[in-house]
Structure formats: C-alpha cells, structure tokens
Structure 1
Amino acid sequence: MQPTIQQTMKIEVASMTEPISVVVMQGDQTGQELLEEALRVLEPNVIGLDLQFLNFDLSLENRRATNNQVVHEAAEAMKRTGYGIKAATITPENKGDVGSPNAILRKAIDGKVIVRTGRRIPGVRPVAGTFAPISVIRMAVGDAYGAKEWREGSGIDEIAYRTETIDRKTCRAVAEYTFRHARKMKAKVFGGPKFTVSPVYEGMLKEEMDEASKRYPDVRYEPQLIDATYALLLNNSGEALVIPALNRDGDCLSDMVLQLFGTIAGSESILMGFDEEFQPKVVMAEAPHGTAPSLYGKDIANPMAMILAAASVLTYIDDPKAVTASRAIYEATIETVREGTKTADIGGTAHTSEFTNEVISKVQTKLEVWNSLQGF
C-alpha cells in the first residue's frame, strides 16, 4: 500500500535534522562587536549548517541588573546543549560587585580544562623562530584561583596566608586530555608542575601525568619542571608541543606561548567539562583577549581569535558538515592574513568588517568547491 500524502509529509518531517543549538553569551565593548563578526561567519548561507543561537546578555549592565542570574541561566543552557560561544566581558574591580562571569561559568558547567593553542600566523614574526604549534592544557579550577586568603599580625610583622587546593579528578582530566590532544596533534607532551618543591600538592598532577603516559605509550612524554619549561620554550622551534599546567601556571604560560607566535589574536580559548570517561561534555569557546575599550566602535579590532573560537565549537559537533565547516573557517582565516588582508595590530590596514567579509567569501568558495568535488 502506498503511503498517503499526510503519511509522506510525516515521514519527511521526522527525517529532517533538528537545528543544532549553541549558547551565545553576549559581552561588553569590543568583545561584543567581535562576537557579532564571528556569528556572521556561522550564518547558514556561509557554512551550510542550520545553527540555533540561544542568546544570553552577559554584559556588565545586565549581570548587575540580574545579580548574575543571567550567567547561571547561560550555564544551564550550555549543560543542555553542550556548546557555547562567549564574548569578552568586563570584570569589575570593586569588591562586592558581580565579579567574573567566567568563574561562575567554569564552576556551573564543571569545567576542568582550558585549552589555548599558539600557531604560526603568516606574515607575523614569531619570537625565537617559533613555528610549530604549542597547546597549553590548563587546569580550569582550583589552585591559586578561589583560594582562601587572610592576614595575621600588624605592621612590619604582618603575615599573609593562602590556602590552595587541587583535586585528583581535575588532575586526571588535565592529564588525560593532554595525551589525547597530543596524539591528535602528533605532538610531544612537554613540561609539568614543580613537583620537586611541592611533592604533595603539585606532585598530584605529576602522578596523573606519569600514569597517563602509560595509557598512551605512542605519545612522546618529556616531563619538565615549570621553570625549565619556560626557559626551554625559548629554544624550541621545530616540535609541536602540548603542555599540561596547574591553573595559575597555565594562565601565565598560555599568555607567553601565544606571544611567542607574535600575537594573541591567532588563538581561541576553549573551556571543557567532561563526562565520566573524560570525553568532552560541554565546550565553551571565546577569544583569549579582553574587551579592548580603546578600540570600541572604531571597526579596527582584529576578529581572528573570535572567528577561530566559533570554528572550534564546530569541531566538537557530531555532524560531518560541522567538522567540514570548521576546517573551512580555520583555513580561510589563516589564508586571509597570508594574502594580505590584515588588521592594524598585525601590520595591515583592513577594518574589522573587511577582514570578516574576506573570510566569509573564502569559506563559501571552499565549501562550494569541496562539495562539487565529492566523489572524485
């Protein structure tokens, strides 16, 4: 029996792919402007993928108005969808204000790892001849951040104290993801904590790194103390590296690594929460830079990092079209710089919107060509 028109319509509707939901966290000043540029690259007519954006206003004004409730709502939405893109936001300095939204988001989604990868940008001179990619796998919670602090005594005899903590589950997440990432990059796991001075505290991460190396015997492993890691990075130029780090060490180290490549504009920052098997469960991407108030409203800021952040989220979506679109965006962004369309911070004259327009054009061309060559 042939299906009726109504039955046919139901079959077609049921087979349609639901749009992929991505949480978009709006920000402040230039951070918001660059987010809008990145979202232009993710339009369906550019990447051929229907994304549903769930918008949350994380501007300082709205965080104050909602007493950070909007931040908690954004985190809950990310836990449901698994994906988030965040603009740079202002963190007020006054005690008792709304504080950092990033701290709330990390805790709410149980974020364990922050990944930042320095890579060579054509036409941008690196430091010490660095050209092979370097990823820093940073502990996202604990350590010096959120530590209990107090002072005792007075005058010249006053003493400041701080109680820091790390936990084994987070150390294991850092170690496990470090080796998985190194295997994917065909890189060497390099560096580590200062376990000789702190065998109990920092030694916990070293223990997990050593155990992970046994689970991944095919991945090269060269542990170094954190101070030696800094020094040896200045002499390394030809090997791809993945560096595990405690929270504060990783914060400092990732800033230095990105500058080794001449600019922080060529990298995305990815926060990850994991399931029990340490597979990514929630992925939130953003640019590693701040809100750049001096550039606000001038259409001259570099959108590279924010565009790459948007592309990075696509790599974790279980859809071949998303992975292909991500590759197209990465390639198009780097090629745009290589062919001379550059913003002022990396030696060019292009406006923000002009750079994005060129990236969009290249992405559309790539996807059209790749689609036409399927089967060859």
Structure 2
Amino acid sequence: MSGIDVVVCDGDETGQELLEEALRVFQSGVLDIPVRLEHFDLSLANRRRTANSVVSDAAAAMVEAGLGLKAATITPPGIGDVGSPNRLLREGVDGSVIVRTGRRIPGVAPLAPVSHPIVVVRMAVGDAYGADEVRSGNAGSPGEVACRTERITRSTCRAVADYSFVTASTIGGVVFGGPKWTVSPVYEGMLKEEMDAAATRHPHVPYHPVLIDASYAALLSDAARQPRVIPSLNRDGDCLSDLVLAMFGSIAGAESVLLSLDDDLTPRVAMAEAPHGTAPSLVGKNVANPMAMLLACAAVLDHAAIRGAASASNAATRLRNATLDAALDGVRTLDLGGEASTSDVVDNVLERLQHPPHAD
C-alpha cells in the first residue's frame, strides 16, 4: 500500500506536547495507511538560531509534499525578533485561504444557539498581518501617532469569495456575513465586490451579505436553519473564528486548514493545525485538549485523499469519528467538563480505531 508524505512543523510548549500525542495515531499503524513524517523544528529557539531559515525550509518541503501538519508556536512580541512563523509559512506556500469550521461537539452544550456548522473562510495573507507600521512624534507624548499601511489583493479576495461559495454548495449552506464595506468601500469593499461576483457564478447558493459587526451579533443571537459560510478579511477572520469555535464549547474543538489553491480552487498545499495557542500555563500537566490536533490529522488525511490517496478518505473518517465518539462517551478534558488527561483521550481514540465499538 502506498503511503503519504506529511511535513510536520514542530512547535512550542503545550502546542508541541499536543502534536506529539496526536502523531501517535499515525505512528501506531491503526489507520492502515503508511504516513511518512518529515519534521522541521519551528520552536522559537530554533527559529532564532536559524534566523527563520528553518521556516523557509519547511515551506519549501510542504510545497513539494503538498501536505503539512503544524503545532502551535510562540510569536515573540518584540520589534526586530523573528516574528510569526505562521505568516512566513503562508507566504512560503502561497496560501490564500484559511478554513476553520465550528461544529457541534457531541455531548457538549454549545454556548450560543448554534446547531449547524459555521465555516470561516479567511484570507491567509495580507490585511493587518505583515503591514508596514510606523510611529511619528515624541514617544509617549499625547501627539504621538501610529500608522499602518494594510494591503489586500484582488486575487486573494476572489479566492476567499469563490471558495466560500464552493464550500457552501458542498455542505448545503448559505454564504453569510462579510467585511465592513460601507465604512471602507475601497479597501474592504474589494472583498464585497468579489463576494457579489461569486454569487452570480453560483446562483444556486443562498447569499446573505451582512456587515461584520452585525454578523457577530447574529451569530450570538440567531439560530440558523442551515450551515453558514463566512468569507472574511485576515484580521476579521482571525477574531471571528476564535469566537465561532468557542461558541461550540472550546477553541480546542476544531481544526484549522491553510490552503494554497490553483485556478480551479483545487488545493496544491494543505497545512492543518490546531488553532489554539501554546498554552504555557498547561505545559507538562497533561490536561490540554487534543481534539483539534487529532482533527487536524484527519484533515491531512482528507486532503491526501483529494490528492489521490484513496484509502486516506476512510482513514480520515475513522479518525474523525473516533475523536468525536470519545467526546460523546464522556472521554473529555477539563475544558469540556471532563476529567480525562490529554493522553487518556488519545489512548481512547487509539482503542476505538483498533477495536471499533460496533465491529463484529
């Protein structure tokens, strides 16, 4: 049986611990598909030591393999430091969209009136991230001014808009939300223009454009009758996806996938990760929730299937079902009201994969 190659970006603190736990599902053989892992050390210490060259090497390897899996990493706040590896990876693989899906966690009551999935399709590059920033005037004085020059491209707006409509068509959802195009008709209006254009190309997909502030309010107050797919700017999507995941019970309950798309919206590179941070207060305690990292592994298998590894589709379904079934049966970490440790959850998922509960 031919296997798949996955580039693994090691990270920091609890992010690395969760990655190592989740990788047990690939290394155990229970998924019946060989997975070859190529590791790159993206810890803060190694990024500093290599002046970020390790991030460039990881991105190049990901372009070659087409598949990646990343642990959470530390982004240092200091000016002149190594900055965010996420931005460098996105630029290195020519990523255009990030997809994060909030969905019901079995056995966990959501914090808002949500039952159908909510998919945030966010710009992967541009906007507030990597923008040129400058301060002028006397430092600390009332007259000091801070300025930032943000930039988005028509091609990225088009990719976000079109992928949103394709996703909505696939899951039977509505394209909902949008930027603040009334206040910023030139800058944010570019995404709205592409959303409108995509709507004409996909007339069978319901389309309900709503300003970003009203979108937040609607998500928290309205019970939708079908899945929602929300196209967004980079910064808006970052904030929005954290809210959406938390609405379903935990930001650690779903995966995030960075996509580099060709002209037909077919993924050339897919890098999955857990969207939560490195949780320094949880390091070494074996209590962090591994669900997002396990689901990220399933997402990698999904995209391996898209790339032609047929057996990966069944493996992805088995892993996703085992992870969600564990939650349904009460094998949950503290953030979901349970008492299981990180390794307890992964042990249970491995047991379900090796001995399915309903197998003859």
TM bucket (normalised to shorter chain) is over 0.9
Report the aligned-residue RMSD.
Answer: 1.6
- Letter of the structure 2 residue corresponding to residue 233 of structure 1: L
CA contact (8 A) 1:127 1:262 kept: yes
TM-score (norm 1): 0.91
> Which residue of the partner structure matches residue 148 of structure 1?
132
- Letter of the structure 2 residue corresponding to residue 308 of structure 1: L
Q: Give the Å deviation of 1:44.
A: 5.6
Moved more, 239-248 or 211-220: 211-220
- Letter of the structure 1 residue corresponding to residue 5 of structure 2: S
CA contact (8 A) 2:257 2:270 kept: yes
Q: What SS class does the counterpart of residue 137 from structure 1 fall into?
A: strand
Q: Give the Å deviation of 1:129.
A: 2.4
CA contact (8 A) 1:44 1:51 kept: no
> Which residue of the partner structure matches residue 230 of structure 1?
216
> Which residue of the partner structure matches residue 263 of structure 1?
250
> Which residue of the partner structure matches residue 203 of structure 1?
189
Question: 4+ residue stretches of structure 1 with deviation over 4 A?
Answer: 366-369
CA contact (8 A) 1:328 1:366 kept: no
Q: What SS class does the counterpart of residue 42 from structure 1 fall into?
A: helix
**Alignment match of 1:333 (pick from 294, 319, 323):** 323
Q: What SS class does the counterpart of residue 52 from structure 1 fall into?
A: strand
Q: Give the Å deviation of 1:366.
A: 4.2
Q: Give the Å deviation of 1:47.
A: 0.4
Superposition map of 1:279-358 within 5 A = 279-317=266-304, 318-358=308-348
Q: Give the Å deviation of 1:225.
A: 0.8
Query: In the aligned structure 1, how far is the partner of 2:312 from the partner of 2:39?
Result: 20
CA contact (8 A) 1:116 1:268 kept: yes
CA deviations on 1:8-52 (whole Å, 9 max, x unpaired) are xxxxxxxxx543110011111111111011111123621000111
Moved more, 189-198 or 236-245: 236-245
List gaps (5 residues or longer) in structure 1. 1-16
- Letter of the structure 2 residue corresponding to residue 353 of structure 1: S
CA contact (8 A) 2:87 2:129 kept: no
**Alignment match of 2:167 (pick from 161, 181, 186):** 181
Change (3 A) 1:365 1:215: farther
Q: What SS class does the counterpart of residue 157 from structure 1 fall into?
A: coil
Change (3 A) 1:205 1:255: same
Q: What SS class does the counterpart of residue 330 from structure 1 fall into?
A: helix
CA deviations on 1:108-130 (whole Å, 9 max, x unpaired) are 11111111111111232212221
Q: Give the Å deviation of 1:235.
A: 2.1
Moved more, 118-127 or 148-157: 148-157
- Letter of the structure 2 residue corresponding to residue 289 of structure 1: H
Q: What SS class does the counterpart of residue 281 from structure 1 fall into?
A: strand
Query: In the aligned structure 1, how far is the partner of 2:357 from the partner of 2:171?
Result: 24
Change (3 A) 1:172 1:362: same
Change (3 A) 1:42 1:367: farther
TM-score (norm 2): 0.94
Query: In the aligned structure 1, how far is the partner of 2:204 from the partner of 2:314?
Result: 27
| Aligned: 1:85 with 2:69 | yes
Number of aligned positions between the proteins: 354
Query: In the aligned structure 1, how far is the partner of 2:81 from the partner of 2:214?
Result: 39
- Letter of the structure 1 residue corresponding to residue 249 of structure 2: G
Change (3 A) 1:366 1:323: farther
CA contact (8 A) 1:112 1:170 kept: yes
CA deviations on 1:154-198 (whole Å, 9 max, x unpaired) are 433333222111100000110111111111111111000111111
> Which residue of the partner structure matches residue 171 of structure 1?
157
Q: What SS class does the counterpart of residue 340 from structure 1 fall into?
A: coil
Q: Give the Å deviation of 1:310.
A: 0.7
Moved more, 153-162 or 102-111: 153-162
Q: What SS class does the counterpart of residue 150 from structure 2 fall into?
A: strand
- Letter of the structure 2 residue corresponding to residue 360 of structure 1: L
Query: In the aligned structure 2, how far is the partner of 1:62 from the partner of 1:160?
Result: 32
| Aligned: 1:250 with 2:237 | yes
- Letter of the structure 1 residue corresponding to residue 171 of structure 2: M
CA contact (8 A) 2:176 2:230 kept: yes
> Which residue of the partner structure matches residue 134 of structure 1?
118
- Letter of the structure 2 residue corresponding to residue 182 of structure 1: A
Query: In the aligned structure 2, how far is the partner of 1:98 from the partner of 1:160?
Result: 22
- Letter of the structure 2 residue corresponding to residue 174 of structure 1: V
CA deviations on 1:206-227 (whole Å, 9 max, x unpaired) are 1111111112122111111111
Identity percentage over the alignment? 57
Q: What SS class does the counterpart of residue 302 from structure 1 fall into?
A: coil
Query: In the aligned structure 2, how far is the partner of 1:274 from the partner of 1:290?
Result: 26
| Aligned: 1:69 with 2:69 | no
> Which residue of the partner structure matches residue 106 of structure 1?
90
List gaps (5 residues or longer) in structure 2. none
Q: What SS class does the counterpart of residue 96 from structure 1 fall into?
A: coil
Moved more, 348-357 or 116-125: 116-125
Change (3 A) 1:280 1:336: same
Query: In the aligned structure 2, how far is the partner of 1:240 from the partner of 1:279?
Result: 22
CA contact (8 A) 1:138 1:244 kept: yes
